[in-house]
Amino acid sequence: MKIKFLGTAAAEAFPAMFCDCEQCVKARKLGGKNIRTRSQTLIDDELFIDYPSDTYYHIIKHKINLLDIKSVLITHIHDDHFYPNDLNWMARGFSCPPSDWHGITVYGSRDIEQPLADIAANSQGYLRCESNPVFKPFKVGDYVVTALKATHGTENPYIYVIEKENKTLFYAQDTGLLPEETWEYLKDSGFYFDAVVMDCTAGTTDIAYSAHMGLPRNIKTRDMLFEYGLADENTKFILNHFSHNGGDAVYDDFSPIAEKNGFIASFEGLKIEI
Ligand SMILES: [Zn+2]
Ligand SMILES: [Zn+2]
Ligand SMILES: [Zn+2]
């Protein structure tokens, strides 16, 4: 399974749009890996995790053909992860997809149903929407996906376990420390994670609010994954979803700290293969 990071920031992007803080000034000056857009990850050139307004920028920058994308998993409906308006443009009149195009199926919690209803109805069948409950594996093409409950500020926030050909990715953002129900499910799941992507909105700091993580919570979560046999020293741990409000958040500052603690700091264009 190939995992490519396209958008790695929190909602306001990094540098943030209207921000003159020390971290944003530094990120603007350094450029490169220090520039972060809204959250999106590509799996095997065919599956997106999340669909933010920066999708258009991502497909241009990384030379992705949207007609190759078969499925989108939505973690939650905050608009840095879910910008349904841009799915209107797949309909004829706005675009000319080939007549035999497979279209795109968007998967998520029931929160995506209402925002996608009209868009799907007007898409000439190209856009399909499928909601699934937590803790019940479902098929997405060649993948088996299980949605788990996250700790986040929307009604039904999901994190995902994605399995294909004996490889398993645990994609855990946006979330704070995982809820008890999710640990209960994971403990008896028999999963072994080859890679874990974790929320690191707070950078090196331990934040007071519950909806995100920083390095101390990442370490605590990794310890628990180890304890339950869900991961081990061969698992790749990637930290993602950075905010300028986090400690040492600029990539050039954070990356060596992450490495010292056994984590990989994401950047846009990072490819991980499991
Ligand atoms: Zn977010
Ligand atoms: Zn800032
Ligand atoms: Zn969010």
Paired tokens of 229: 């046999």
Gap from CA of 98 to ligand 3 centroid (Å): 34
If phi over 0 gives left and psi between -120 and 50 gives alpha, with beta otherwise, what is residue 2? beta
- Summary mean pLDDT of the chain: 97
What is the structure's pLDDT at 208? 72
What is the structure's pLDDT at 87? 97
Residue 109: give its domain's CATH number: 3.60.15.10
What percent of the chain has a predicted confidence (pLDDT) above 70? 100
Gap from CA of 17 to ligand 2 centroid (Å): 8
- Kindly identify the ligand whose nearest atom is closest to the C-alpha of 52: 1
Give the structural domain span for 104. Answer: 2-273
Gap from CA of 54 to ligand 1 centroid (Å): 13
What percent of the chain has a predicted confidence (pLDDT) above 90? 98
Helices marked H in the chain — which ranges? 22-30, 55-61, 113-121, 180-187, 215-227, 251-260
> Which residues surround the ion ligand 2 when the cut-off is CB under 5 Å?
16, 19, 21, 24, 244
Tell me the average pLDDT across 1-15. Answer: 98
pLDDT, tens digit, 9 for 90 and up, residues 221-267 = 999 999 999 999 999 999 999 999 999 999 999 999 999 999 999 99
Gap from CA of 126 to ligand 2 centroid (Å): 39
Omega before 52 within 30 of 0, i.e. cis: no
Residues 6+ apart with CB under 8 A from 14: 23, 24, 27, 34, 35, 36, 242, 243, 244, 249
pLDDT, tens digit, 9 for 90 and up, residues 178-217 = 999 999 999 999 999 999 999 999 999 997 789 999 999 9
Beta carbons of 151 and 179 less than 8 angstroms apart: yes
- Kindly identify the ligand whose nearest atom is closest to the C-alpha of 157: 3
pLDDT, tens digit, 9 for 90 and up, residues 55-91 = 999 999 999 999 999 999 999 999 999 999 999 999 9
Neighbours of 68 (CB within 10 A): 12
Tell me the average pLDDT across 109-113. Answer: 98
Q: How many structural domains is the chain composed of?
A: 1
Reported confidence tier of residue 109, pLDDT bands at 50, 70, 90 = very high
Nearest alpha-carbon partner for 145 in 157, 165, 161 = 161
Beta carbons of 22 and 60 less than 8 angstroms apart: no
- Kindly identify the ligand whose nearest atom is closest to the C-alpha of 154: 3
Gap from CA of 176 to ligand 3 centroid (Å): 10
CA torsion sign for 69, 74, 75, 78 is: positive
